[in-house]
Amino acid sequence: MSLLNKIHNAVTGDGKYKKYYPLYEMVDTFLLSPKETSSGAPHVRDAIDLKRVMIIVVFALIPCFYMAMWNTGYQANSALAAMGLDAGTGWRWSVMKLFGLAADPTSYSANIILGALYFFPIYIVCNIAGGFWETLFAIVRKHEINEGFLVTGSLIPLIVPPQIPLWQVALATSFGVVIGKEIFGGTGKNVFNPALLARAFLFFAYPAAISGNGVWVAVDGVSGATPLALAAEGGINAVMAKYSWWDCFIGTIPGSIGETSTLACLIGAAVLLFTGIASWRIMSAILVGSIATAIVCNAVGGVTNPMVQISPLWHLVMGGLAFGAVYMATDPVSSSMTPKGQYFYGALIGIMIILIRTFNPAYPEGVMLAILFGNALAPTIDYFVMRANIKRRKVRSV
């Protein structure tokens, strides 16, 4: 703390290193609450600032961090055990041997440590790449480093496969931060969710690294079809032959590193709703929209399309629906801002998720595209809601 006080004058005012003030301010306000406060109208004063909001969101992601590590290790160890092997190859297994651990899916330590060796390199590369661009734009524009990347840098590592090349992580993160946020003006001005744009970039630029059955289990040559992929090929019976509903709810299934567990997402949702950070209107509308659409699809039926008969309860625990509804769609910048608009926005996303899953055989997930579509329409939804409010007030004033 004394070091920060010593260099304060050098990076503020006409100090010798004033161009590096964004770096100083980032560290200072992360460690300490700023003493500067707004005074007088029209500023709204509150006990929480943007940095603390972002930290709460990251705190709500801790259950997903845990499942990202444990389930990644569990899937890899299970695959190796099924092959009759007690270890894999590469530097990670050299580290595992140092701990005296073998490929044992029943060992908590073996699962969590192996998973951490996959998760943390992705997390570190993602934050280094994103932090670099945030700092660069802050210095060039001569403003403080925004806290938005605290969340983006935690979301991207959770929505990619465990074996994705680290250079692709850096490239996708750069795309999401620069193209998805900085060119629009930075934090608070982005139209689309930067983390989802990063994943969309990977999906369309490097489809082999982000799709297919062979990318979800961290063992070379092992095919680990996700429940949604199984459902698209053989319907719910194909899913139930390999996974139970409880497996999908807990998250012990192949998939993106940190979005497989509906339970972990619900714990995070409880934190976000209790603190008032996320919108319960958006979450509930996505839930209602997806359930209603799935019910309609079940009623219509379809012999040639196995996804039509997937029940709403199964839809809710497969893929990234829960993760997207809790952490992605509720982004306060790219979502609808009006209370009534949030209902329409959430319902639209819920409907789109099921429609894409059901009627687009080339893309059985649907969450990413549905939320990006909702982001694009959010300003229009808010516009019509506000116009309706203005019209209603005019009628009352007559």
Q: What is the pLDDT of residues 262-292, one digit of tens each?
A: 999 999 999 999 999 999 999 999 999 999 9
User: How does residue 60 score in pLDDT terms, banded at 50, 70 and 90?
Assistant: very high
Residue among 331, 27, 80 nearest 195 (CA): 331
Q: What is the pTM of this model?
A: 0.87
Instruction: Give the mean model confidence (pLDDT) for residues 251-271.
Output: 95
Q: Residue 337's pLDDT is what?
A: 92
Q: Is the pLDDT reported for residue 14 higher than 90?
A: no
Q: Residue 98's pLDDT is what?
A: 93
- Integer Cα distance of 377 and 167 in angstroms: 32
- Looking at residue 102, the DSSP 8-state letter turns out to be -
- Integer Cα distance of 78 and 238 in angstroms: 20
Q: What is the pLDDT of residues 15-48, one digit of tens each?
A: 655 666 666 565 666 555 555 555 554 445 555 6
Q: Residue 41's pLDDT is what?
A: 47
Q: What is the pLDDT of residues 88-110, one digit of tens each?
A: 889 999 999 999 999 999 999 99
User: How does residue 361 score in pLDDT terms, banded at 50, 70 and 90?
Assistant: low
Q: Residue 313's pLDDT is what?
A: 95
Mean pLDDT of the chain: 87
| CA 214 from centroid of its chain's CA atoms | 22
Q: Residue 11's pLDDT is what?
A: 62
Q: Is the pLDDT reported for residue 299 higher than 80?
A: yes
More confident residue, 183 or 324: 324
User: How does residue 341 score in pLDDT terms, banded at 50, 70 and 90?
Assistant: very high
More confident residue, 14 or 364: 364
3-state secondary structure the chain: CHHHHHHHHHHCCCCCCHHHHHHHHHHHHHHCCCCCCCCCCCCCCCCCCHHHHHHHHHHHCHHHHHHHHHHHHHHHHHHHHHCCCCCCCCHHHHHHHHCCCCCCCCCHHHHHHHHHHHHHHHHHHHHHHHHHHHHHHHHHHCCCCCCCHHHHHHHHHHCCCCCCCHHHHHHHHHHHHHHCCHHHCCCCCCCCCHHHHHHHHHHHHCHHHHCCCCCCCCCCCCCCCCHHHHHHHHHHHHHHCCCCHHHHHHCCCCCCCCCCCHHHHHHHHHHHHHCCCCCHHHHHHHHHHHHHHHHHHHHHCCCCCHHHHCCHHHHHHCCCHHHHHHHHCCCCCCCCCCHHHHHHHHHHHHHHHHHHHHHCCCCCCCHHHHHHHHHHHHHHHHHHHHHHHHHHHHHHHC
Q: Residue 234's pLDDT is what?
A: 85
Highest mean pLDDT among 205-214, 257-266, 304-313, 388-397: 257-266
Q: Residue 24's pLDDT is what?
A: 58
Instruction: Give the mean model confidence (pLDDT) for residues 125-147.
Output: 83
Q: Is the pLDDT reported for residue 239 higher than 80?
A: yes
Q: Cβ distance 341 to 378 under 8 Å?
A: yes
| High-pLDDT (> 70) share of the chain, % | 85
Instruction: Give the mean model confidence (pLDDT) for residues 59-84.
Output: 95
More confident residue, 397 or 79: 79
